[in-house]
């Protein structure tokens, strides 16, 4: 049985922080901010149950959670590519049957 609601899957990048630790970041197409989340220990490609960092009530993720799919790494948050909201919808549709 499928869950009625699945948290969106979002492409995220590993970024080394100034303090040497690793974070997972992506540029949010809804609120335009860079969202930064901790990376759990161990090799995982999908990180579940992250509370959305959106402070924009118009964002579909506001007050909800999402899953981060680690798709690469960048040197700094300034190099994060922008994902369009439509790209993320397309990704989730493509992954929905799996």
| Residues that bind Zn ion in the complex, under the rule CB under 5 A | 28, 30-31, 54
Nearest distance in Å: CB 14, Zn ion = 19
Cβ-based nearer residue to Zn ion, 9 or 31: 31
Cβ-based nearer residue to Zn ion, 16 or 32: 32
Cβ-based nearer residue to Zn ion, 47 or 54: 54
Nearest distance in Å: CB 81, Zn ion = 15
Cβ pair 88, 94 in contact under 8 A: no
Q: CA of 67: how far to CAs of 18, 19, 85, in Å?
A: 24, 25, 15
- Distance from C-alpha of 53 to C-alpha of 37, rounded to nearest angstrom: 9
- Distance from C-alpha of 51 to C-alpha of 89, rounded to nearest angstrom: 18
Nearest distance in Å: CB 47, Zn ion = 16
């Amino acid at each position: 049985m499928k869950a009625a609601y699945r948290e969106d899957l979002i492409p995220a990048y590993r970024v080394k922080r100034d303090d040497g630790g690793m974070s997972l970041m992506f540029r949010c197409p809804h609120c335009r901010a860079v969202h930064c989340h901790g990376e759990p220990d161990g090799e995982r490609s999908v990180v579940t149950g992250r509370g959305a960092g959106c402070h924009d009530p118009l964002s579909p993720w506001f007050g909800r959670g999402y899953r981060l799919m680690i798709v690469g790494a960048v040197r700094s948050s300034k190099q994060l590519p922008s994902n369009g909201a439509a790209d993320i919808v397309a990704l989730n549709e493509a992954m929905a049957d799996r």
